[in-house]
Structure 1
Amino acid sequence: MAPQHEERKQDGNAVAEPVMRWFTWEDVAQRTGQDPALQERWVVIDRKVYDISHFYRRHPGGALLISSHAGQDVTDAFVAFHVDKLLVNKYLKPLQIGELAPDQPSIEPTKNKMLVKDFRELRASVEKMGLLKPNKLFFFLHLAHILLLDTAAWLILFCCGTSFVPFIVSLLVLTISQVQASWLQHDLGHLSVFRKTKWNHLLHKFVMCHLILGIKKKKYMPYNHQHKYFFITLPPLLFPTYFHCHTFYIAYTKRYWVDLACMLTFYIRFFFTYGSLLEMKSLLAYYFIFRMLESSWFVWVSQMNHIPMDIYYDQNLDWVSTQLQATCNVEQSLFNDWFTGHLNFQIEHHLFPTMPRHNYWKVAPLVKSLCAKHGIEYQCKPLLTAFADIVHSLKNSGELWLDAYLHK
Structure 2
Amino acid sequence: MPAAALAFAAHGMAPHQGLEDSPEEPSLSDRRLLTWDEIRQRTKQGASNREQWLVIDRKVYDIGRFCRRHPGGSRILLNHVGEDATDPFEAFHVNKSSVKKFLKTLLVGELAPDQSSSDPEKNELLIRDFRELRATVEKMGLLKPNTFFFLAYLFHILVLDAAAWLTLFYCGTSFLSIVVSITLLTISQVQAAWLQHDLGHLSVFQKTKWNHLLHKFVMCHLIGASANWWSLMHSQHHAKPNCYSKDPDIDVHPWLFSLGKSLSIELGKKKKKYMPYNFQHKYFAFTMPPLLFPTLFQYHTIYVSLKKKFWVDLLWMLTFYFRFFYMYGSLLGIKTVLLYYLIYRMLESSWFVWVSQMNHIPMHVDYDRKLDWTSTQLQATCNVDQSWFNDWFTGHLNFQIEHHLFPTMPRHNYWKVTPLVKSLCAKHGIEYKSKPLLTAFADILHSLKNSGELWLDAYLHK
- 1:329-380 Cα deviation digits (max 9, x unpaired): 1111000000000001011110000000111111111101100000001111
How far apart are residue 58 of structure 1 and its match? 2.6
How far apart are residue 176 of structure 1 and its match? 0.5
Equivalent residue, structure 1, for 2:141: 130
Equivalent residue, structure 2, for 1:143: 154
The count of corresponding residues between Structure 1 and Structure 2 is 381
Give unmatched runs, 5+ long, in structure 2. 1-24, 243-248, 258-283, 456-462
Give unmatched runs, 5+ long, in structure 1. 1-14, 402-408
Contact in 2 for aligned 1:178/1:211 (Cα 8 Å): yes
- 1:251-274 Cα deviation digits (max 9, x unpaired): 7489543442221121132156x2
How far apart are residue 218 of structure 1 and its match? 6.5
How far apart are residue 311 of structure 1 and its match? 4.8
Which has the higher relative contact order, 1 or 2, with Cα contacts under 8 A spaced 6 or more apart? 2
Equivalent residue, structure 2, for 1:6: none
Contact in 1 for aligned 2:190/2:352 (Cα 8 Å): yes
Q: Secondary structure at the match of 1:31?
A: helix
Contact in 2 for aligned 1:111/1:318 (Cα 8 Å): yes
Distance 1:353 1:237, change over 3 A: closer
- Give the Cα separation in 2 of the matches to 1:27 and 1:93: 21
Q: Could you tell me which of 416, 419, 424 is aligned with 1:365?
A: 419
Contact in 1 for aligned 2:289/2:352 (Cα 8 Å): no
Contact in 2 for aligned 1:64/1:225 (Cα 8 Å): no
Q: Match for 2:101: what amino acid?
A: K
Equivalent residue, structure 2, for 1:227: 241
- In percent, how many aligned pairs have the same letter? 62
Equivalent residue, structure 2, for 1:379: 433
Q: Report which stretch shifted further, 383-392 or 167-176.
A: 383-392
Q: Match for 2:374: what amino acid?
A: V
How far apart are residue 301 of structure 1 and its match? 0.7
Q: Match for 2:418: what amino acid?
A: A
Distance 1:29 1:396, change over 3 A: farther
Distance 1:387 1:162, change over 3 A: same
Q: Report which stretch shifted further, 316-325 or 346-355.
A: 316-325
How far apart are residue 300 of structure 1 and its match? 1.0
Equivalent residue, structure 2, for 1:260: 318
1:2-401 to 2 correspondences below 5 Å: 17=27, 19-32=30-43, 34-213=45-224, 220=233, 223=237, 226-228=240-242, 229-230=249-250, 233=257, 234-235=284-285, 236-239=288-291, 241=293, 252=310, 256-271=314-329, 274=331, 279-315=333-369, 317-394=371-448
Distance 1:223 1:131, change over 3 A: closer
Contact in 2 for aligned 1:213/1:265 (Cα 8 Å): no
- Give the Cα separation in 1 of the matches to 2:181 and 2:340: 9
More helix by share: 2
Contact in 1 for aligned 2:61/2:107 (Cα 8 Å): yes
- Give the Cα separation in 2 of the matches to 1:184 and 1:237: 20
Q: Secondary structure at the match of 1:103?
A: coil
How far apart are residue 90 of structure 1 and its match? 3.1
TM-score norm. by structure 2 comes to: 0.76
How far apart are residue 81 of structure 1 and its match? 0.8
Q: Secondary structure at the match of 1:181?
A: helix
- Give the Cα separation in 2 of the matches to 1:215 and 1:16: 38
What's the C-alpha RMSD, in Å, of the aligned pairs?
3.0
- 1:130-188 Cα deviation digits (max 9, x unpaired): 00000011001100100111111111111101112111111111110110001010101
Q: Match for 1:165: what amino acid?
A: L
Distance 1:147 1:393, change over 3 A: same
Q: Match for 1:285: what amino acid?
A: L
More strand by share: 1
TM-score norm. by structure 1 comes to: 0.85
Q: Match for 2:37: what amino acid?
A: E
How far apart are residue 83 of structure 1 and its match? 1.2
Contact in 1 for aligned 2:292/2:349 (Cα 8 Å): yes
Equivalent residue, structure 1, for 2:280: none
